[in-house]
Structure 1
Amino acid sequence: MAFSLSRKQRLTVAVIISSIFFMAELLVAFETRSLALLADSFHYINDMIGFAIALSAIHKLSERTRVPRRLSFGWKRASLIGAFFNGVFLLALGLSILLQSIERFVSVQTIQNAQHVFIMGCVGLGLNVLCVLVLHGEDSAQLQCTHSLTDDGDDCTRLATRPEAAPHAGHRHNLATTTADPQRPGRDLGMLGVMLHVAGDALNNLGVTVAALVIWKTESPARHYADPSVGIFIAVVILVTAVPLVRKSGEILLQSAPDNVDPDDVIHDLEKIPGVQSVHELRIWRLDQRETVASVHIMVEDEDICTFAEKAKTASECLHAYGIHTATIQPEVPPRLPSELPAAPPVSGTSGSSSTPAVSNSLKRSRGSCQLLCRGCQLGPDSVGGCR
């Protein structure tokens, strides 16, 4: 009878398996003086930390309690931060194991009861295969990008065939190389870190089993070098699996743009919108591995400021075609010389220079609202600084 486990239940099972096996493996490692087995047991500590971080992130995301106001995006980056520190722990652990293995080559130690090491390696290999099967189903079934163009409507593909697609003429997102699927569904980096742990452990246990078999079944004096050799192998596996995890999660934490989005292409498309003079202050970053956010300043003609809503809609469609579904678009108008500003009308009953109340009220407005509401600021060159 088929049954399914939630993501939280899968991680809970993995934590229980890792905890039990860690204690057993640690005891056997101290008994046999096997560095490979000891390194593998400490790797399990890091696995448990990774499982706990991922489980904690899921718990935070599933809580019904109100998110603190200071967390503008909620707990969306909790799993990402956990993945980053998980990778950092792996790097430190791999370096430590590597140094200890090199020391064992200088001062060789005899492995006692190699058959116990062999048994623990076989048991660990079986448990890791079980963990891979448990975690892989969740990773492939649920961890899909929530904002893919196939789900949200392939705007860039439809734009090329809609009659109202004229504002997008000449845009690079209409090219086949960018409209196929600019943001494909990706794996969750938190669960990716967990999967890397478990897959690395399976390889480690395989190496421990082979080394124990060599020490157990051969009589060569050099057989004891098999244990530190496997230790070096474990260290390399840990480092190789940890570096990509740290790099990918670190790039997102540094608010880098997605690999499949070229900011120059986005600027090119936005500047092709009719009525747009220039585009600057473009910021594209990933909130997490699923959601991309952007902000941009668009300079338009002064007389077109009231029709900016149409340009903003076209700009949003362009960003949407690149997989950017959350964006802040700020309008700007080019600066005007004082000689280009119309003279301020005099206030009735006073001279033309008595415009202090109007100036006082205008100062309360921001520059953006002044541009949108005043359309050129009829207050004269000395009224509101910068609103020209």
Structure 2
Amino acid sequence: MAHDHSHDHAHAHASAHGHGHGHEGHSHGVAADADRRFLRGALALILGFMVAEVVVGLLAHSLALVSDAGHMLTDAASIVLALFAMRLASRPAKGSLTYGFKRAEILSAQANGITLLALAAIFVFEAVRRLLSPPEVQGGVVLATALAGILVNITAAWLISRANRSSLNVEGTYQHILNDAWAFLATAAAGLAVLLTGFDRADAVATLVVAALMLKAGYGLVSASWRIFLEAAPAGTDPDAIGRELVGFPGVQEIHDLHIWTITSGYPALSAHVLVDPDQDCHAIRLRLEQDLREHHGIEHTTLQVDHAAPETLQLGRAAGDPHCAESHGRIHRQQP
């Protein structure tokens, strides 16, 4: 007769990890406070310089400077959004939100990516217009402002790099700042070209470079966040390979309903239904499987329902009337005879 050990597993899992989760929560709180402090420092730098850059860009008739300022506005917005998402994500799970607000950080990262893509499209349009009809640009002012912007962005990027970049939320903000630093390099080169040669179109060319960088970073953030929203396995993780590995353990006969997804950045999860030989210890096998997933794949959040398989199931495969997941999802991994 089959035995359902999912409830026993849930209780054992909570008992085994309860203290560890409490300690981890405290450490994460300290780290989150430090992350917020670094982000607030970067925000103050960016806001101050952004205002100055808008004024100078308008006076110098430089689209490259104005586009950089627009990029810095998204930098500032991304930091504000990241700080808000971090505060939301730190709230405990309750009620219908069984994971709390952990995915708020992924929403923030996606918003950052979409903003970068939208701004890139705007700047490409305006740069093409200026290539066709370039205004007079004050190269010296553009060069000086861009060099100052490089220093500001390097400092801001350094501050954010000290935060936890394994978070897609923080990484999204970091990518904003890093792209802005490269953008200022392009703008500085344009200012130097205008100053030395009088080639005003260099400003529009620099804007196109900025837009290309924004497109690359924006696509990366949107793609990564969509993988999480679509419950895809973490990048670099092969569910079929893991299924074959687990079914290879002594006593394990079948793995099905295997799901691997990411709850939020750095928080992969796995669930599966495991059938074992009737004479095997379900709990012992579950512990071995959990240890393997933790040590070899970095998956600590696991939910394994381990059952004894009926003899006819082991001999004939999924027999008619078998109570175990008659409509299992995904590939079924069976022990080879």
With structure 1 as the length reference, what TM-score do the two structures score?
A: 0.66
When the two chains are superposed, the root-mean-square deviation of aligned CA atoms in Å is 2.5
Q: Secondary structure at the match of 1:74?
A: coil
Distance 2:212 2:162 in 1: 27
Distance 1:215 1:270 in 2: 63
**How far did 1:335 drift?**
9.0
* Matched pairs, number: 282
Say which of 1, 4, 7 aligns to 2:35.
Answer: 7
**How far did 1:256 drift?**
1.7
The code of the aligned residue for 2:260 comes to I
Paired residues of 2:68 and 2:180 also in contact (CA < 8 A): yes
Q: Secondary structure at the match of 1:281?
A: strand
1:295 aligns with 2:271: yes
Paired residues of 2:89 and 2:103 also in contact (CA < 8 A): no
Distance 1:125 1:56 in 2: 27
Instruction: For residues 205-255 of structure 1, give each alpha carbon's deviation from its aligned partner in whole angstroms, at most 9, with x where no partner exists.
Output: 122222222223334xxx111111111111111112222222223222222
Q: Secondary structure at the match of 2:113?
A: helix
Paired residues of 1:22 and 1:41 also in contact (CA < 8 A): yes
Paired residues of 2:90 and 2:101 also in contact (CA < 8 A): no
C-alpha change, 1:330 and 1:202, in structure 2 (3 Å) is same
Q: Gapped runs of 5+ residues in structure 1?
A: 144-186, 338-366, 369-388
- Give the match for residue 57 of structure 1: 85
Paired residues of 1:258 and 1:285 also in contact (CA < 8 A): yes
C-alpha change, 1:193 and 1:95, in structure 2 (3 Å) is same
Say which of 311, 315, 318 aligns to 2:289.
Answer: 315
The code of the aligned residue for 1:327 comes to T
Say which of 187, 205, 208 aligns to 1:232.
Answer: 208
- Give the match for residue 74 of structure 1: 100
Distance 2:253 2:279 in 1: 11
Distance 1:269 1:209 in 2: 54
Say which of 183, 191, 194 aligns to 1:215.
Answer: 194
After superposition, residues 233-272 of structure 1 pair within 5 angstroms as: 233-272=209-248
Paired residues of 1:299 and 1:334 also in contact (CA < 8 A): no
Say which of 59, 70, 83 aligns to 2:109.
Answer: 83
- Give the match for residue 200 of structure 1: 179
Distance 1:250 1:261 in 2: 16
- Give the match for residue 328 of structure 1: 303
Paired residues of 2:90 and 2:102 also in contact (CA < 8 A): no
Instruction: For residues 22-51 of structure 1, give each alpha carbon's deviation from its aligned partner in whole angstroms, at most 9, with x where no partner exists.
Output: 222112222222111111111011101111
1:128 aligns with 2:140: no
Instruction: For residues 34-71 of structure 1, give each alpha carbon's deviation from its aligned partner in whole angstroms, at most 9, with x where no partner exists.
Output: 111111111011101111111112223455xx544222
Q: Gapped runs of 5+ residues in structure 2?
A: 1-30, 314-322, 325-337
Paired residues of 1:115 and 1:216 also in contact (CA < 8 A): yes
Q: Secondary structure at the match of 1:6?
A: helix
The code of the aligned residue for 1:80 comes to I
Structure 1 range deviating more: 262-271 or 191-200: 262-271
- Give the match for residue 107 of structure 1: 133
With structure 2 as the length reference, what TM-score do the two structures score?
A: 0.76
Instruction: For residues 171-223 of structure 1, give each alpha carbon's deviation from its aligned partner in whole angstroms, at most 9, with x where no partner exists.
Output: xxxxxxxxxxxxxxxx222222222111111111122222222223334xxx1
Instruction: For residues 254-303 of structure 1, give each alpha carbon's deviation from its aligned partner in whole angstroms, at most 9, with x where no partner exists.
Output: 222233432222222322234433211100112223121111112335x4
Paired residues of 1:300 and 1:334 also in contact (CA < 8 A): no
- Give the match for residue 55 of structure 2: 27
1:190 aligns with 2:218: no
Distance 1:40 1:214 in 2: 18
Paired residues of 2:109 and 2:168 also in contact (CA < 8 A): yes
Instruction: For residues 318-364 of structure 1, give each alpha carbon's deviation from its aligned partner in whole angstroms, at most 9, with x where no partner exists.
Output: 32232221211224544979xxxxxxxxxxxxxxxxxxxxxxxxxxx
- Give the match for residue 94 of structure 1: 120
Distance 1:304 1:214 in 2: 79
Q: Secondary structure at the match of 2:235?
A: coil
Distance 2:60 2:130 in 1: 14
